[in-house]
Chain A
């Protein structure tokens, strides 16, 4: 065996790559090909025919652009909220929490021990009109007598923010934690104020974490449907809800498939623009 690898040294990397490639081929390329095939079909369930129906894409886009835009707006707000909330927290954990670091990290990850669906359902109860939060807010007149949290855009965006928070927090934590603390001392020695140190040293060094965090948050958030389904109303429907309903309720596979491609394509374009703006070296750390 050893002799074989020695004689065919050039082949070894490919052999090592093979399982991963095979995995991608079976579980990514094949379903994508099938999805693409479905997106160009026409007809009614269960009699779909492949007819190169490119108009599926234009029809889907004109029928559901509203939900598509809404998804990106919600995902964008949630991503920014995650960043604003996560950064100070993990900064504190990385630099100030000392021996308690791991405990606090555990707190961030702990909700993940419970399944996504159950976590969201919990919010349904917490934010509910007859739930404790709304009652208190009504009593202290933050909310009017008919004021509510559930079934609002606020509830949906909050749900997404909550559910994707660790995806933002952990990459930033890793990039901060790896930082050489002596760089901060050096900045101080060179008469930089705390703010300047943060802006010129800490922030740029944590940029790969921020970029990774934004991507890990924004991309799944844009396709999310659980939060809008449980915490919103028909007026907060996101593109994920439409795709879900088309696939699973109305069995309109062609429209569902073309919407999936539109979502993927839009995210891809956004990603490319983002990479252009922030530079690819930050994407890869």
Chain B
């Protein structure tokens, strides 16, 4: 239960809950796991943060990089007194959206102050367009000035009123040296008989089809019916031939490490944070997809608490430590200079600071692809659903 909730408040809410015969309301007041926010306007002593796996600096990842500092979460608590309940509970955008949309659509909170959603899918737009995300309190985020220009006016949130980037990353291919030779292209992933039945792809359309569209020699930024159908047909062929083991969310990582997957489509930083020297990640020969995950404050979340955290993360020094620890790309200006101070090798790490050559091999998906219901139906059908 929220430490800020007084007994009087509980009784009042309990009474309100009984008045409306609404058990969910009462349960919500008592907080989904570790304390729901009692008010959107109140600064809390606890922040509930829903994020993806392999996405933040840990004691182990900092140690590996030779950084002798507490994690960014620990530093945040020390600086502000706000304790963070960090929930690693997002495996894919669709699944998480489905889980929370019921409550959000009824105007109820989900017991989280921040959640992270990807621009490479339709759900980020859904949260914002449905007014299920609250406006950031920019007066508490002076560090927003450090947001890189490229991220200041995205189509889903042109003025960055509702969202701020958490990280950018790249879609590529991961392969496990214990069970496989190097895998460097989607063609090889889908057609090499040695990989049969031991290949993973994502259950998210943008990620998987983006890479397939590139392999087909088409442009993922301009997806026509013909381009889409060519890509779907290629995936279907790989499903029918038994090449593909499964469509994964973020849960492909342990399967790849164990070796049940010889190779799989994989996100750039995940493999580094896995820290298994036998598991490798490459940008496919035909190019990769770059995307950005965004923090939003869902309905019911505490805006001041979440905004305070966002401000903290937009400090270049903090963001640098996070980037090294998580192996993903920061959207904060001045991070590279800070990162080199922490770890001189970091400056050349393509996963953190992709140079012009790497970036020239990166593409972005046509956002119209995600929202096309016809495409979504076909994408489910190819997964046997």
| Contacts from A to B (Cβ < 8 Å) | 44, 46, 63, 67, 128-130, 146, 148, 150-151, 233-235, 237, 241-242, 245-251
Which residues of the other chain, A, contact B24 by a CB distance below 8 angstroms?
none
Which residues of chain A are near B384, meaning CB under 8 Å? 67, 234-235, 237, 241-242
Contacts of A235 in B (CB 8 A): 239-240, 242, 384
B179 contacts the other chain (CB 8 A):
yes
Secondary structure dominating the interface of A: loop
Q: Are the CB atoms of A251 and B98 closer together than 8 Å?
A: yes
Distance from B243 Cβ to chain A, minimum over Cβ atoms (Å):
10
A67: B residues at CB distance < 8 A: 384
Does B247 make an interface contact (CB < 8 A)? yes
Residues of A within 8 A of B97 (CB): 251
**A130 and B246 within 8 A (CB):** no
Apart from A129-B259, A248-B99, what 18 extra A-B contacts exist at CB < 8 Å? A46-B130, A129-B198, A146-B196, A233-B242, A233-B244, A233-B246, A234-B246, A234-B247, A235-B240, A237-B385, A241-B385, A245-B383, A246-B385, A247-B98, A248-B95, A250-B94, A250-B376, A250-B385
B18 within 8 A of A: no
Could you pull out 15 A-B pairs where Cβ atoms are within 8 angstroms?
A: A44-B373, A46-B101, A46-B130, A67-B384, A128-B260, A150-B260, A151-B245, A234-B244, A237-B383, A237-B384, A248-B95, A249-B95, A249-B380, A250-B385, A251-B98
Q: Is the CB of B258 within 8 A of A148?
A: no
Question: Are B258 and A242 closer than 8 Å at their CB atoms?
Answer: no
CA distance A248 to B97 in the complex (A): 9
Minimum-distance CB pairs A-B, first 9: A237-B384, A234-B384, A130-B259, A245-B385, A248-B98, A249-B94, A129-B260, A128-B260, A234-B239
In the complex, what's the smallest C-beta–C-beta distance from A225 to chain B, in angstroms?
Answer: 11
A234-B373 in contact given A46-B105, A130-B179, A130-B258 (Cβ < 8 Å)? no
Per-residue CB contact flags for chain B residues 89-107 toward chain A (1 = under 8 Å, else 0) read 0000011011101000100
A242 to B380, CA, bound (A): 9
Chain B contact residues (Cβ within 8 angstroms of A): what range? 20 to 34
Q: How far is the CB of B236 from chain A (nearest CB, A)?
A: 10
Q: Which residue of B lies closest to A243 (CB)?
A: B385
B125 at the interface (CB under 8 A from A): no
Q: Which residue of B lies closest to A46 (CB)?
A: B105
Residues 342 to 385 of chain B near chain A (Cβ within 8 Å): 373, 376, 380-385
**Inter-subunit contact A151/B197 (CB<8 Å):** yes
A44-B373, A233-B242, A237-B385 known; A250 vs B196 contact (CB < 8 Å): no
Task: Give the chain A neighbours of B163 by CB distance below 8 A.
Answer: none
A249 to B380, CA, bound (A): 9
In the assembled complex, the CB of A228 is this many whole angstroms from the nearest CB of chain B, namely 9
Least CB distance, A195 to chain B, in whole angstroms: 44
**B117: CB under 8 A from chain A?**
no
For B98, what are the chain A residues with a Cβ–Cβ distance below 8 Å? 247-249, 251
- A246 vs chain B, min Cβ distance (A): 7
Closest-by-CB residue of A relative to B196 is A146
| A130 to B382 alpha-carbon distance, docked (Å) | 27
